[in-house]
Amino acid sequence: MQTEASVEIERTIEDVFFLTIDHVPEWSRVVVEDEVIDETPEIIGSTFRTVTQEGGNRMVFQGEITAYDPPKFHAIHLTGELFDIDAEYQFEYLGAKTRVTQLSTVTPKGFLKVFFFLFGWLMKTSSCKAAQQELDRLKRFCETEGERTNSAADGEDDL
């Protein structure tokens, strides 16, 4: 199942890129933990662990960065018990704004393959809506909370 969502954020492309990938638990409504396991010098191939929680269900994913081209593109592969997710984020410079487009592919495992086959059309509608809600949260974070995150980081550099 594939989904696509997009949002325009009033922030520079560099800020949006780093706020998007470095602060996921702060803007996502489903990601509650995100920790680096092994960071490679070239970033691609770095691994991490992500924990999501939705509707009382908690899932753990092992992740790997599959593409990294700041500030234009970032892609990951998540491996979970019930399904895998390939997600990519495209960042487009629009002057004082940045367009972020998220493309995701969910690949079910085991018995979920049948469920996806039977109810995929219904799940896709729900997934597209959820993806748009996530990007709307990213927009709010980047345009408000992200200001404080960058300001705090800038202040630390002055110490």
pLDDT at 113 over 80: no
- pLDDT score at 106: 87
Q: Mean pLDDT lowest for which of 38-52, 58-72, 101-115? A: 101-115
Contact between 100 and 7 (Cβ < 8 Å): yes
User: How distant, in Å, are the alpha carbons of 96, 126, 133, 150 from that of 136?
Assistant: 18, 15, 5, 19
pLDDT band, residue 3 (cuts 50/70/90):
confident
pLDDT digits (tens, 9 = 90+) for 84-109: 999 999 999 998 899 999 999 988 88
- pLDDT score at 68: 97
Domains belonging to the chain, first-starting first, are 2-147 (3.30.530.20)
Contact between 74 and 84 (Cβ < 8 Å): no
The first and second tokens of residue 131, run together, are 């993806």
- pLDDT score at 50: 96
Is it true that the peptide bond before 71 is cis, omega within 30 degrees of 0? Answer: yes
pLDDT band, residue 40 (cuts 50/70/90):
very high
pLDDT digits (tens, 9 = 90+) for 132-149: 899 999 999 999 975 655
Q: What single string gives the DSSP state of each residue in 27-66?
A: H-SSEEEEEEEE--TTSTT-EEEEEEEETTEEEEEEEEEE
Q: What is the mean pLDDT of the segment spanning 41-68?
A: 95
- Among residues of the chain, what percentage have pLDDT more than 90? 66
Please give the model's pTM, rounded to 2 decimal places: 0.82
Q: What is the mean pLDDT of the segment spanning 43-67?
A: 95
pLDDT at 5 over 80: yes
Between residues 124 and 89, the one the model is more confident about:
89
